[in-house]
Amino acid sequence: MGKRVLVIEDEANISEAIRFILARDGWDVETHADGTDAAERVNAHPPDVLILDVMLPGQSGFEILRVLREGVQTQGLPVLLLTAKGQAADRELAQRYGATRFMTKPFANAELLAAVRDMVGT
């Protein structure tokens, strides 16, 4: 069985593109589009990797990441933080909150796949 990835992204076209890229590589991909209950979704069934958008309805990816890093079950979860904004301040926040990787949109398919593989050591 492949490793599980949870994609929390509110833009359907990006979410579907990520699903396609990773599923083609053998990953089991689940998607979620709302920040409000994202941390609960992760905690209910932690994935092997989380791909988390910064700008989400209900709660930002930064806040979700902060909550996850405070949890015993999710503090070591590999998290790839995605953002359309690539300013230094965003990178600093991502690092401060404990993102494993930070990637700006648009991203290259090969770059995304390599980052996910690298985060789980495959």
Nearest alpha-carbon partner for 38 in 48, 25, 23, 50 = 50
Domain that holds residue 65: 4-120
Higher pLDDT, 1 or 61: 61
Rounded-to-integer distance, Cα 116 and Cα 78, Å: 9
pLDDT at site 68: 97
Contact 17, 73 (CB under 8 A): no
pLDDT at site 96: 94
Does the pLDDT at position 1 exceed 60?
A: no
Contact 65, 79 (CB under 8 A): yes
Please report, for the domain that includes residue 21, its CATH number. 3.40.50.2300
Q: What dihedral do alpha carbons 93, 37, 121, 75 form, nearest 10°?
A: 60
State how many domains the chain has. 1
pLDDT at site 2: 64
